[in-house]
Amino acid sequence: MKMLINVPETVVADALRGMAAVHPELTVDVERRVVVRRDAPVAGKVGVVSGGGSGHEPLHAGFVGVGMLDAACPGEVFTSPVPDQMVRAAAAVDSGAGVLFIVKNYTGDVLNFNMAAELAEDEGVQVASVLVNDDVAVTDSLYTAGRRGTGATLFVEKIAGAAAEQGAPLERVEAIARRVNESSRSFGVALTACATPAKGGPTFDLPEGELELGVGIHGEPGRERRAMMTSGEIADFAVDAVLEDLRPAGPVLVLVNGAGGTPLLELYGFCAEVHRVLRERGVPVARTLVGNYVTSLDMAGASVTLCQVDDELLRLYDAPVRTPALRWGM
């Protein structure tokens, strides 16, 4: 397969060099693989740090900036960053108010962030951690024990990041992040497999004319394969899978997220069907975000994330944000 790269071994470094060239408001350490907002540490502010394997852009580095993350640690493609990266990020953003690690539930990420938290605390940095595990498709997978962390990561990072920006203490930022995760559920669908630079071809076999319901963001198997369905049929299946578990009692945030290879023309059409299903199920929509935010390289497909919100969470979601991939209110 054709890819716009030099060699697979330098894909992540090359991308970080490009990010550094475009975003002077960020400090990008290409060699040590850490992206930090340039004004960090902000006096009196809780530092918010996340990270994970590359290939899911703009997650996480694209969400570094005012009102969201203070730092991100990109690993190799579909591979967890190492503890040294996270310790370095925590030290760079710690103002003395502590640091929150936001961790997607993948075995490598969990182990390495836990180790990093211990190392950072040995160096005098107070660390709290929140696990994101919003995917209702499967309980265990190739990469996880328990549910996978997917689209809700954006909501957790945005809302917790806003709380930290407004000066909330570490215990409060942690509690808000946990509440967002507990109030969120996701379900993804793949129309094609993704291709990693190292492999140079599809990472799994998905026959022509079939789709994978409940796929993971690394191409992990979902619930089942079916013959290709219409956008409306997929929306019915995905939204019902989420609502069966979430059962919201109030308005929700909606993320219609592209997997990386699906154009906005299709995503907006799919969003219309998601809204139709929610309307038919009597679920009010507070806000909707559509686009490629938590991707799987070039996979064609989409995911739906719903997050039940109250006045406080909605206010924090609406709070100003300025990052490479998400910005409003400034």
Q: Is 60 an annotated catalytic residue?
A: no
Distance CA 249, CA 246 (A): 9
DSSP state letter for 260: B
How many CB atoms within 10 Å of residue 84? Answer: 16
Closest among 201, 244, 209 to 225, alpha carbons compared: 209
Token pair in block for residue 17: 């060099």
Closest among 317, 320, 45, 313 to 179, alpha carbons compared: 313
Token pair in block for residue 272: 């219309």
Q: Pick the catalytic residue: 23, 60, 218, 275?
A: 218
Q: Pick the catalytic residue: 23, 56, 60, 275?
A: 56
| CA count, 13 A, side-chain hemisphere, 271 | 20
Q: Is 218 an annotated catalytic residue?
A: yes
Radius of gyration of the chain, Cα coordinates, nearest whole angstrom:
19
Dihedral-angle region of residue 297 (phi above 0 means left; psi in -120 to 50 means alpha; beta otherwise): left
Closest among 244, 329, 324 to 69, alpha carbons compared: 324
Q: Report the Cα 15 to chain-centroid distance in Å.
A: 18
How many CB atoms within 10 Å of residue 29? Answer: 16
Q: Which residues are catalytic?
A: 56, 218
